[in-house]
Every structure is written in structure tokens, then in C-alpha cells.
Chain A
Amino acid sequence: MATRIADLPQPLAAAVARARSQVSVRPKTLPPRDIDPVIAAWAKDAIDSGALAEAIAEVAAADPDLA
């Protein structure tokens, strides 16, 4: 993705240009984490079952800034 700063309106373009000059992100690989298979399976089930989505929706309902 390449968002052309020149295509953005001001003052957004200037803010983005200034921010990009302050950030240097190099590709990083995530080393494999040693996760208990039970925990990994638990988290996968929480996602796949929709239980996590429901918990997130409850947080969002309580706080519109997180919706």
C-alpha cells in the first residue's frame, strides 16, 4: 500500500509527512513463541466459536470509543 502524501488534504498531509520522518520500521520476524498447546487450542476455540467476538462486542457496547 502506498498512500501518496501529496494526495492527502492539509493539515493531514503535513502531519503524516512529519510522523513518517520520525518513524523507522524495519521488517521484523516474530520468533516462534513457546505456547502451551492447551492455551493455543483454547484461544483458537475462543475465536472460532465467536466467544471472543462476543466479549469484544460487549467491551465496544460499553465504550463507544472502542466500537
Chain B
Amino acid sequence: VIVVDDQLLLRILIGQEPEQLRSARASGVATTMCWFYRLSRAIAAGSTTGKLSGRFAALNAPRQGEVTRLVNELPGGIVTLDPRVVVPVMSALSSVASANLLTTEAVATALVLDADIAVSVRSALLERTSEAADVRVVLFD
């Protein structure tokens, strides 16, 4: 199992992921509530403001709705952990490394699933926290 960030999640949803990621997720793919939420929020905000808004304007209304559904209707094959399982690990992890909610959830999820974390962008905080918990982070760009 591999835990993917928000941009890689969207690539998987549209079937445009790097070949190495396709191989890496052969035994399953997971994401976190925070990455799922951040992607959904970015798309929702982008529908009205920012650099994405011009691209949204190029789509007709039904297709704008399809973009939102694409992101918000996560397929059942993508694993997300029940908070009752992951929150105690997040809490315990905070005694090892101090991080924000997104990073703590990502590393805790990887620990529970015994998984690597796949990211599209490097994050010093994520790398520091994952190293403290002996979790591997792999960059796919």
C-alpha cells in the first residue's frame, strides 16, 4: 500500500499517474482526510478565484459539476482510515515529532498501513516527521 498526496490522488483519479506510481500502488493506494480535503477545497475555491478559475470558466456548467464530483466522490478502492484508528497514532506520534495536522495524519496513516508516502512536492516538515517515525517518503513528479 502507498499513501498519496492530493496532486497524485487527482492523477490517479484521471488515470494519468506516472508509471512508477502505478507500479508502486499495485498492492493498494490510500490517502488521508487532510489531502482529500485540501484537494476538494482547492478545486472548490478554484472554481471562483485564482489561477484555476480561468480554466473553470472554459468549462460549461455541467462539466464544472463533473470536475467537482470527480474529486469529491472518492472511489471505494482508495483507502482512508477511520479516525478511531488513526487518531490515537497521531496523538502518540506527536510525542516523537511536532508537526501540523496534515503531516501528522500522513505519517500516522503510513505507520498504520506499513506504507510509503508518495508526494508530488517535497516538504521539509513531512520529511523530518517521517524520518523520526522511520517512514519512507518518495517523490513522484
Interface residue ranges, A against B (CB under 8 Å): 1-4, 7-9, 11-12, 14-16, 18-20, 22-23, 25-33, 35-36, 38-40, 42-47, 49-56, 58-60, 64-67
The count of A-to-B residue pairs whose CB atoms sit within 8 angstroms is 174
Q: A27-B28, A30-B12, A55-B43 are in contact. Are A4 and B7 (CB under 8 A)?
A: no
User: Does more than half of chain A's interface fall in helix, strand or loop, or is it mixed?
Assistant: helix
Whether the pair A25, B55 counts as a contact (CB closer than 8 A) is no
What distance in Å separates the Cβ of A14 from its nearest Cβ neighbour in chain B? 7
Q: Is B1 an interface residue (CB 8 A)?
A: yes
Whether the pair B92, A55 counts as a contact (CB closer than 8 A) is no
Q: Is B61 an interface residue (CB 8 A)?
A: no
User: Does more than half of chain B's interface fall in helix, strand or loop, or is it mixed?
Assistant: helix
Bound complex: CA A24 to CA B68 (Å): 30
Q: Is B128 an interface residue (CB 8 A)?
A: no
Across-interface contacts of B91 in A (CB, < 8 A): 15
Interface residue ranges, B against A (CB under 8 Å): 1, 6-7, 10-16, 26-30, 34, 37-39, 41-43, 45-46, 50-52, 55, 58-59, 63, 66-67, 70, 75-79, 81, 84-86, 88-89, 91-93, 95-96, 100-102, 110-116, 120-121, 125, 133-136
What distance in Å separates the Cβ of A35 from its nearest Cβ neighbour in chain B? 6
- What are the 5 tightest A-B residue pairs by CB atom distance, in nearest-first order? A15-B92, A65-B101, A55-B42, A28-B77, A12-B92
Whether the pair A3, B85 counts as a contact (CB closer than 8 A) is no
